[in-house]
Amino acid sequence: MAVEKCASRVLVLLSQLERLNEEPKVSDTDAIRQITGKILHIIQTQEKTRKEIVSKGSSGMEVILSSLENTRDLQTTLNILSILNELLTVGGGRRTGVFVSKGGTAILLQLLLSSSKDLPMNEELMLQIHSLLVKVGPKDRKFGVKARLNGALNVTVNLVKRNLQNSKLLLPCLQVLRVYAGNLVNAVSLGKSGTLELMFEIIGPYSKKNTTLLKVALDTLAALLKSKMNARRAVDRGYLPTLLAIYQDWHRNDTRHCHLIIRKSILGCIKNLTTIKLGRKAFIDANGMRILYNTSTECLSVRTLDPLVNTSSLIMRKCFPKNRLPLLTIKSIYQHPLSHVPSGGPVAQLYSQPPEMDDVVDESDENEATEVDTENEEDETEDNNENDDIETDINKLRPRQMQTRPFDELRVYERFCVEFTKDFKDYDFENCRAVFHPSSVNQDLNGPIIIPTTTLTSVRSPNRRQQLESVQLPKPTESPTELDGISLAKTPESKPDPDLVCSLGRLVLDGVDSVNGDCDDRSQDESGEQGLLVVPDTAAVLPLHDPDLYLEMVKSTRSVPIYTEVAYPDYFGHVGLDLREPIVERVYGVQRMKIFQDIERLIHPFDILDKVVYDLDNQSCPVIDNGNSLKFTSKFESGNLRKAIQVRKFEYDLILNSDINSNHYHQWFYFEVSNMRPGVRYRFNIINCEKSNSQFNYGMQVLMYSVQEAINGRPHWVRTGSDICYYKNHFSRSSIAAGGQKGKSYFTMTFTVTFQHKDDVCYFAYHYPYTFSTLKMHLQKLRALQTAQIYYREDELCQTLGGNSCPLLTITAMPESSSDDHIDQFRSRPVVFLSARVHPGETNSSWVMKGSLEFLMSSSPKAQSLRESYIFKIVPMLNPDGVINGNHRCSLSGEDLNRQWQNPNAELHPTIYHAKSLLQYLRATGRTPLVFCDYHGHSRKKNVFMYGCSIKETVWQSNANTSSCDLQEDLGYRTLPKLLSQIAPAFSLSSCSFVVERSKEATARVVVWREIGVQRSYTMESTLCGCDQGKYKGLQIGTQELEEMGALFCVGLLRLKRFTSPLEVHNHKSHVLDIENDLIDTRSIPNISSSTTYVLDEDEPAFLEEVDYSAESNDENDPVLEPELQDNLALPGPNSDSGV
């Protein structure tokens, strides 16, 4: 009751004040003073009465501001300012917004200006005004502009100058200066007015006095130094060494760490100074690297000091001198001559660059003289850019089936569709049995393939790579020693290594003991002669793998480097692990530790070996080795490693090769390592990665294949590596080489490995390798599985630029007979068109394709039913040349083939040109595919998911205004993804997106949907890392899971048939899809704001886990929260990248 009386009392007083404002008289001054005094007393004693003044419909705020604007009485002014301070203090967020909306900011600034003209100035009045401005400024977006136009900046600066010893008034003035400086133009103006010098009169060495004032002064200085002009002015005046000295003093004296926030603020000022080139140079000249390194090292043991360590690390990384990669040129070591180089294309641009501009580091700062007022434009830009890549033109979104080529030109593709015209009259349906004898296999290769595998001396390291020239047949005079089918053939006068004999006895044989008995009785012969390994028949374990056949396939594979070696994992084969490999949790502080080790290179340069141990650029000059270095090679199919540099005894920097006819796309790697010591921790740093983030930061490991383990019966690619992280390094390339992006830096992917075996040979890869020769071998073996019930045909779609064949498969079920009814049923089957491996580095797509092909060729009833339901047209590898030559993204044309589907060139993009032409032929003949799916791999998301095309969802996501009649579309495109989410444990429906983006308009998915008219046109993305949902949650993905996904995709197609049959669509539509609910639920799922980049543009929407690992970040975030340095805090949450 008392509160209600007070509230009503306030309203009465406000009404009286309003009447006095309407008819102001000189005699009313005392009355207004008394009323405002009473209001102040009430709101000071009754907090709830404050709500009445600013409640909805109340005019209280307008009355108070009107009184403030009209009064000339000092006490009344002080009363009103005190009222406003009370109103905006507790829970003042909404109230401050009301104050700003009623024009309160302008009234306050005008009062400040007018009061400054009264001499002497009233200290209490200035204190009240600045206290209010501190609260109001951050809530008023135009505060900086208003203050500058009003002339308030100079008033506050002059107050600071006059009150350097008056901390009571100085504190709010400094706080207001900080808000002023939030506007870039204001910051420049304040810098010219001597504000920087004022700040350094306040900031000083360690002291327990006035720490709050010091903190505000440092924050104000940091805000001022965000202006590059101010930063330059501060550097010119020598303030950077001063700040370093102040930081050292606080570090030494703050032994109990009571003033962490002040030390962090000093670092914030240093950080802003080092955003300019001049500041970075001054930092280096002032020995800043050593100072921050030493102080940070002393802080490492105290976890609460992590903010200081993180910010120091950020500054040191930023100031680490930018270097070019230690290469003569970042262009690929290999080039492939093109018959036609389009002017303006990437290859023409690449080779038109002057040699001296190839990799020149560009550290120039942005134009400092053009700092303009953009504070209002930035917010608008952010809003506008949120969906700027989404296509909003309905006319462009609507599929338009165009006959871009005359049918007479398309008629040549009839040879790929003979099943539509074949009558099968001459086919014996009762007695036919399909038997396959591979025509391309040398039928004379009946004996074992003998491969050098080891030496008997520890000095001469093994060379276990299979060289084509070394393939030899045993001579008749040789008598192989048989070990249960495993032969150890001996060359004349050679002795077998007992260790090797023992290990061979265990090769791929389950539960078989060593045939030669106890192997502890070892030979002491160290003659250095080689033992020869006869590879066993592993068909029981790998039914589609045949080492003999693989070698034959390699011989017909054409590579630009003309490879003569074969990697052991591709020759032996890979058996998928039954053991699940969990996603690795990163140890806290590992990234920081790696960065500090990199910084030590600059501080202690004499500790660095800098020894080149492998170099494709200088193959004619052999590397001189004393036996203490690892040996590397990548000169085999799909291999990619350009250079290896030993930087410390057990640490190596590795540089990847660019895609051929390109100077970028560094992600895929595949290389061999030998001459290792067991039990030693080796660190490997791949230093020229380009993507801004990677799943290596979120639990993904590299893959390793040990030859010794394979010989011992464990031929597996296994996830390995500890201390794995991915971060921006100090290597950079010019803006020209970076496609116009200024100051483009590289990233380091680092991992540590401990080898288990002496003199082993190990292979490392980005993901499970799958070479073109492996595909050819698998196709040969698959054809051998053909039965009388399977229609299987393999055609050559075209020849690639490198002279390799691009296979096209046709798979379906044979008609039951040659009767007209059965032939009609055969020809009326809908077409499903599948493709994969357009991006060579996405090897997981080939493993998924392998699973699909094996299922399609299997004898299971579901497979037979699927074959009877569809005719499959499959291009299992759209970019053989890229795969063969170890590219990550491009073909030999130096272009991303998945950006060429709109206008493919027959000479430069033959596989895309002919695949699209085949699709155009199918459409022209009335056989438009029911489903098109292009298999891909995704490097920055987890799970398996799909991208499709939808007008409705695209328009909804873009928030475009469109009438409902424009959004009519068949929603069947969601059927297959939903079915897959029900049957495939790795598939995530919530990660799917059906939005069409402008940057993806030339991809297969969009072009086939738009031009060919395939409603169910998809990209199916498989993670390179693992899953965060379903059965495989928390596990890294393996080849078994990928092949399972390929098989279950086929099962999904079989189920899809029920819902595409005209007789069953009506019955099942509502059962399968809650369409409208799905659409409503997923409107918030894909955050399609993915601004595409020049480097490694992907078929993907924005990535929730993407973290800014830039050392050039100018965010005002607390360093504790900066993702680039918070290690465990940067790790994704459980739903971090499944729902975008």
Inter-helix orientation angle 60-70/74-87, to 10° = 150
Per-residue DSSP letters for 881-915?
HHHHTT-SS--TTSS-GGG-SSS--TTT-HHHHHH
Where would I find the H helices in 576-646? 590-603
Length of the chain equals 1140
Per-residue DSSP letters for 748-760?
EEEEEEE--STT-
Where would I find the H helices in 660-747? 707-711
The sign one gets for the Cα dihedral 135, 141, 145, 150 is: negative
Which residue in 637, 854, 1021, 1124 is the catalytic one?
1021
Strand partners of residue 754: 681
Cα–Cα distance, 130 to 108 (Å, whole number): 9
Strand partners of residue 531: 454
Residue 811 host element (H or E):
strand 805-813
From residue 240, how far is each of 200, 546, 814 by CA, in Å? 11, 67, 80
Contact 244, 288 (CB under 8 A): yes
* 327: Cβ contacts below 8 Å, ≥ 6 apart: 359, 617, 642, 643, 655
Judge whether 123 counts as a catalytic residue.
no
Count each helix (H run) and each strand (E run) in the chain, helices first: 41, 24
Within 10 angstroms of residue 695's Cβ, the number of other Cβ atoms is: 24
* Encoded tokens for 33: 């003073």
Residue 52 host element (H or E):
helix 49-54
* Encoded tokens for 30: 């005392």
Cα–Cα distance, 133 to 289 (Å, whole number): 39
User: What secondary structure letter does DSSP report for 411?
Assistant: G
Contact 267, 308 (CB under 8 A): yes
Helix, strand or coil for residue 349? helix
Closest among 731, 668, 738 to 346, alpha carbons compared:
738
Cα–Cα distance, 1064 to 1058 (Å, whole number): 6
Residue 178 host element (H or E):
helix 167-180
Torsion of CA 1115, 1118, 1123, 1126, to 10 degrees: 150
Cα–Cα distance, 381 to 11 (Å, whole number): 43
The sign one gets for the Cα dihedral 15, 21, 24, 25 is: positive
Helix, strand or coil for residue 546? coil
What's the half-sphere exposure (Cβ side, CA atoms, 13 Å) at 180? 30
Task: Give CA angle at 590 (585, 593), nearest 5°.
Answer: 180
Contact 224, 239 (CB under 8 A): no
Contact 215, 174 (CB under 8 A): no
In one letter, which amino acid is 531? G
Per-residue DSSP letters for 243-304?
HHHHHHHHHHH-TT-TTHHHHHHHHHHHHHHTTSHHHHHHHHHTTHHHHHHHHHHHHTT-GG
In one letter, which amino acid is 721? G
Cα–Cα distance, 746 to 689 (Å, whole number): 6
Cα–Cα distance, 907 to 851 (Å, whole number): 32
Catalytic residue positions, numbered: 1021
